[in-house]
């Protein structure tokens, strides 16, 4: 993993933006989905219309094009869905493994570097990814994956093995009915070992499993290069 992080850091200036962002004029808002954010009441997070309204109000008040954040964040918002609960009633999943970018539905998503379509899937359970795409990349002889969750169903008109060029527009932020019933956003995640999964990989883990998953899923900003503009 240290090798992958080093390779990504070395090549950071070659990545195409995953979303269009003018660093001179556009603003980013760091968003907090932990229990420290008292505005995110149970009533808000369990009603997608109210949740969407909250996100839009925050972006509007900050005059921000995107809200961003969440890597390694311990989030209470996952209590809204049984997807994140343990079947045996044990420890739930709450630690976020990617970076979320919040904005309007149909916001275009671009490939940061060339890659092959590894797999895709409609993970339709309430609170899940919804439409999901995973790309396989190779950089300096090291293979790794990028995952794009909560995209539009129209974006799943793909073929496994299809090549996606650097800078190619290949996905869009999905509407709630196709993105797992969330306010429109992109979950972007880097994965070293996909563990033979297809069209899906945990984007949230148990706190007790954080050492493994944070090593396997390094900070997505290594590619996004956006946090410096918050």
Task: Encode pLDDT of 75-93 as tens digits.
Answer: 988 988 999 998 888 999 9
**Angstrom distance (rounded) from CA 128 to CA 149:** 9
Q: What is the pLDDT of residue 89?
A: 84
**Angstrom distance (rounded) from CA 174 to CA 47:** 17
- For residue 36, the 8-state DSSP code is T
The CATH number of the domain where 198 resides is what? Answer: 2.70.70.10
Q: What is the pLDDT of residue 76?
A: 85
Cβ–Cβ contacts within 10 Å for residue 200, how many?
17
Tokens of 170: 């290949």
- For residue 219, the 8-state DSSP code is -
Task: Encode pLDDT of 3-26 as tens digits.
Answer: 999 999 999 999 999 999 999 999
3-state class of 204 per DSSP?
strand
% of residues, the chain, pLDDT over 90: 93
Tokens of 176: 């709630």
**Tally of domains within the chain:** 1
Helix (H) / strand (E) containing 168: none
Range of the domain at 70: 2-229
What are the residue ranges in the chain where pLDDT is below 50? Answer: none
**Angstrom distance (rounded) from CA 194 to CA 187:** 16
Q: What is the pLDDT of residue 87?
A: 84
> Within the chain, where are the H helices?
2-10, 42-45, 48-62, 210-216, 221-224
DSSP secondary structure letters along 89-152: S-PPP-EE-SEEEE--TT-EEE-SS-EEEEEEEEE-STTS-EEEEEEEEEETTEEEEEEEEEE-
């Amino acid at each position: 993993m240290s090798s992958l992080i080093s390779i990504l850091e070395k090549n950071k200036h070659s990545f195409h933006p995953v979303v269009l962002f003018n660093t001179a004029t556009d603003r980013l808002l760091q968003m907090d989905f932990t229990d420290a954010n008292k505005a995110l009441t149970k009533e808000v997070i369990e009603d997608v219309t109210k949740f969407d309204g909250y996100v839009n109000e925050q972006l509007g008040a900050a005059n921000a094009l995107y809200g961003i954040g969440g890597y390694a964040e311990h989030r209470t918002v996952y209590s809204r869905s049984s997807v994140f609960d343990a079947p045996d009633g044990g420890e739930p999943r709450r630690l976020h493994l990617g970076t979320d970018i919040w904005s309007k539905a149909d916001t275009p998503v671009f490939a940061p570097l060339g890659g092959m379509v590894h797999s895709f899937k409609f993970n339709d359970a309430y609170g899940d990814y919804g439409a999901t795409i995973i790309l396989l990349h190779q950089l300096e002889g090291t293979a790794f994956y990028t995952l794009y969750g909560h995209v539009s169903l129209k974006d799943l008109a793909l073929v496994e093995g299809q090549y996606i060029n650097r800078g190619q527009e290949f996905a869009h932020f999905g509407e709630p009915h196709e993105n797992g019933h969330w306010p429109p956003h992109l979950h972007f995640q880097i994965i070293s070992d996909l563990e033979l999964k297809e069209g899906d990989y945990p984007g949230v883990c148990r706190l007790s499993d954080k050492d493994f998953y944070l090593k396997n899923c390094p900070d997505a900003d290594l590619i996004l290069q956006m946090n410096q503009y918050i």
